[in-house]
Structure 1
Amino acid sequence: MKKIIVAIDSFKGCLTSTEANQAASEGILAKMPEAKVVQVPVSDGGEGWLGAFKAAMGGSIVEVNVKDPLMRPIVAQYLIQGDTAVIEIAKASGLTLLKPEERNPMVATSYGTGQLIVDAVRRGCKHIIVGLGGSATSDCGIGMLRAIIDSFAKGKSWDDVRELDNVRFTIATDVTNPLCGENGAAFVFAPQKGATPEMVEALDARAKRFAEASAKHLGRDCQNAPGAGAAGGLGYAFLQYMNAECRSGIDLLLDTIHFDDLLQDADLVITGEGSADRQTLMGKLPFGILQRARKQNVPVMLIAGRIADEQFLLDAGFSHVACINPPGIPLEIAMQPATANENIRRAVSFSARNSRILRNSL
């Protein structure tokens, strides 16, 4: 009996990781009914982070009344297991909470993320794991810090906050950018959040001023630390003000679910994402899975809705690369969940039986 692990990232705006995994599993079992299929919901810190950890470690989902990026009231969720909380910042401060015409990183705030942290601390959490991805903000975490000060120091200053002294923070991101400069949060990420070139310049200048003031006040400077530029500078706020540990999102999740143990008797791993190209090899989720699997000589099949640089991906170690969509399909059709489900099933069903990619080929 063949053991196949399915660990596919979400197809953003289309399918969750769980939904994509289920479609792939159905495709495998249609041709290989005797196979043992292990589904692993995954995320690198963005969309699906909360669900992936819920599947991995159990716990309870907590709902909190918070502010969205434009300070409108919403209900956001996070996970508690024992004294550990898992927060997906996109639940409170995400780009998907805004309509395209509402996107403006000059005003969008991370205040709601701070409210989630406050709630977790008040419930006794001592370790807070934060997935940094999908933010609508470029405020360097100032909004988050303000929410914490408002709750724990009655609006005075960060120096008056004592409730976080015994709380450990781990931030998860595969972004290594610094806070400022041409590779920083504003220049690299703000345009996709609605920033004009003029806004980008203003946001970067604002970040530099905040970092300089913070360094002078705290006696250390984390603006160039890897991950400082993640989530519009939220990474910087966690590193500078909360002494957070920065981890690769996919590595943190794979360690939590003991992925290396799952691989020991596996014959194949199927992973994927919405669009795959050479940037997939720059720390994205499928590459993190590939690195783990190659150490145990388990072949990895990569599927995606769009494939570019196929030979580049094969040369990197993927045993098989498959585009789920037939040539010429309109994007609006391909993005429909029912269509994507069927195309994943069909692509995986064909590949599982017709390519010699299993560790011990059929």
Structure 2
Amino acid sequence: MRVVIAPDKFAGTLTAVEAAEAIATGWRRRLPGSEVVTVPMSDGGPGFVDVLHSGLGGELIAVTVPDPYGDPVPAAVLLVGGTAYLESAQAVGLHLTPPEERRPMLGSSRGLGELILAAVRSGATRVVVGAGGTATNDGGAGLLAALGATATGAVLDAGPAGLEGLDTVDLAPARAALAGVELVLASDVDTQLLGLVGATKTYGPQKGLSEEELLVADARLQRFAEATDRKLAGEKGAGAAGGIGFALLLLGAIRKPGVEIVAEAVDLAAALASADLVITGEGSFDFSSRAGKVPYGVAQLAGEALRPCIALAGQVLVGSREMRALGIEAAYSLVERVGEERAFAAPADALADLAERVARTWGRE
């Protein structure tokens, strides 16, 4: 039996690489004769570079950039041929700062701009940016400042607070810095920049913005959009990573779902073509998984190959009807099967145990 294991990270507990190995370990424990292929996946959020490095190899170039508040943080550019892969979460990730120390009105995306510059200086002619999991909500203004953009009446790399009084923005230097470079936005969501379903309203609370600050930050981003390109603010992915998607679109980026970028890069379709079973997963499997998340993307490819797909997740928050609408035959909850305490205390062991149990139902000698 040939089993392809293609999960995302289990946020806060396991990377995608660790999750894939844990599932493989449990499956082999029950059915040692199976051919098990691991293909760790990402939607563009945290772990994007790790997953691609695992699948593609390439050269990792270490870079130090400022975090959302200007402190140095390590990041990496993955260079594969002429393509550089990098992720926003390494430079300006939400996980870099404890909740009590977050200052979302001051958080800047400048570090990601410096990471992009490092990629270009490494010789890349194509730069793919995984956008997701950030602590910033500045519309990518800091990123643009790092690339040379200037403004009148405001400070671009001081978070939403710095955009107060914004008059004009000159993007010409930033565009010149990327002349001849193909830019790709690999986003985990298709959110627009502004309004009730925009970046601030949807993801601002998890970054620490208060109700009052949500209104202020969204108004600042609206002015920023008006000073640059208001139409682009309504494009899919413009609101990704606190508006970093918008900045990349301003620079001419092409937007693609992150899971598609990874699937194409590692040729997941070829791996699925001869699979008897496909296993995917993530930390929380819910109906939002349809919006560019890994389980949905993997299930769609499995469906095209006419292969059954199941999911293992920390939590399963959808019913059977919704599950099948996502292309998943069955989903199994780690918390439900082994308990919340063990799921968090020993996640790899617990996930392996769950995979072993699932193999009894879906496996064959």
- Matched with 1:276 is 285
> How far did 1:122 drift?
1.5
Q: 1:264 to 1:57 in 2, by over 3 A?
A: same
- Equivalent residues of 1:325, 1:343 under 8 A apart: no
Q: How does 1:241-280 map onto structure 2 within 5 Å? A: 242-280=251-289
Report whether the alignment pairs 1:117 with 2:116: yes
Q: Deviations over 1:204-232 (max 9, x none)?
A: 000110110113xxxx7311010001111
**What value does the CA root-mean-square deviation take over the aligned residues?**
1.9
Report whether the alignment pairs 1:158 with 2:171: yes
d(CA) in 1 for partners of 2:233, 2:282: 30
Q: Secondary structure at the match of 1:44?
A: coil
Which segment drifts farther, 231-240 or 161-170?
Answer: 161-170
Gaps of 5+ in 1: none
The TM-score normalised by the length of structure 2 is 0.90
How many residues are matched?
346
Q: How does 1:277-316 map onto structure 2 within 5 Å? A: 277-316=286-325
Match of 2:238 among 228, 236, 242: 228
d(CA) in 1 for partners of 2:287, 2:139: 29
> How far did 1:344 drift?
1.2
Q: How does 1:99-138 map onto structure 2 within 5 Å? A: 99-138=98-137
> How far did 1:8 drift?
1.2
> How far did 1:82 drift?
2.1
- Equivalent residues of 2:337, 2:354 under 8 A apart: no
- Equivalent residues of 2:193, 2:199 under 8 A apart: yes
d(CA) in 1 for partners of 2:191, 2:347: 32
Letter in 2 for 1:298: R
Q: Secondary structure at the match of 1:107?
A: coil
Of all paired residues, the percent bearing the same amino acid is 36
Q: Secondary structure at the match of 2:224?
A: helix
- Matched with 1:80 is 79
- Equivalent residues of 1:41, 1:51 under 8 A apart: no
Letter in 1 for 2:117: V
Gaps of 5+ in 2: 151-155, 157-168
- Matched with 2:204 is 190
The TM-score normalised by the length of structure 1 is 0.91
Which segment drifts farther, 188-197 or 306-315?
Answer: 306-315
Letter in 2 for 1:176: D
Match of 1:346 among 338, 353, 360: 353
- Equivalent residues of 2:5, 2:38 under 8 A apart: yes
d(CA) in 2 for partners of 1:124, 1:205: 38
Q: 1:160 to 1:250 in 2, by over 3 A?
A: closer
> How far did 1:193 drift?
0.2
Structure 1 residue ranges (4+ consecutive) displaced by more than 4 angstroms after TM superposition? none
Q: Secondary structure at the match of 1:129?
A: strand
Q: 1:25 to 1:111 in 2, by over 3 A?
A: same
Letter in 1 for 2:289: T
Q: How does 1:47-62 map onto structure 2 within 5 Å? A: 47-62=46-61
Q: Deviations over 1:71-121 (max 9, x none)?
A: 112222121122211011111110011111122221000010011111111
d(CA) in 2 for partners of 1:172, 1:24: 26
Q: 1:71 to 1:34 in 2, by over 3 A?
A: same
- Equivalent residues of 1:286, 1:302 under 8 A apart: yes
d(CA) in 2 for partners of 1:75, 1:258: 29
- Equivalent residues of 1:278, 1:312 under 8 A apart: no
Q: Deviations over 1:188-213 (max 9, x none)?
A: 11110000011100110001101101
